[in-house]
């Protein structure tokens, strides 16, 4: 009986540890390059130069960079959710 409880406890602990690793994984891939491709997936007809500039501005990682990145993308008719997600993903960590 104790062996079964230990196995369950180990399995639960392993599951929690892997869940934390999966939660942190998106932050590890945050780059202006990732931002650029997220925008192109959502709105393929946008101006690539503006998208690149917006993602570079958003890579600063501060609130002002995010807002300016978002505004540039929205002015080029990128959907709001895609623009916000892309600008968040541009921040270098």
Identify which has the larger pLDDT, 88 or 20.
88
* pTM, 2 dp: 0.66
Q: Quickly list H helices, the chain.
A: 2-28, 32-42, 48-58, 63-75, 80-90
pLDDT in tens, 52-86: 999 999 998 899 999 999 999 999 999 999 999 99
| Residue 51 neighbours by CB under 8 Å, 6+ apart | 35, 36, 39, 40, 73, 76, 78
| Residue 45 neighbours by CB under 8 Å, 6+ apart | none
CA 82 to chain centre: 11
Q: Domain locations in the chain?
A: 1-28, 32-90
């Amino acid at each position: 009986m104790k062996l079964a409880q230990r196995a369950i406890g180990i399995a639960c602990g392993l599951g929690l540890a892997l869940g934390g690793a999966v939660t942190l994984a998106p932050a590890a891939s945050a780059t202006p390059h990732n931002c650029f491709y997220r925008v192109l997936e959502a709105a393929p007809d946008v101006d690539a130069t503006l998208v690149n500039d917006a993602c570079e501005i958003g890579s600063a990682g501060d609130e002002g960079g995010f807002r300016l990145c978002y505004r540039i993308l929205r002015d080029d008719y990128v959907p709001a959710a895609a623009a916000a997600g892309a600008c968040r993903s541009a921040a270098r960590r």
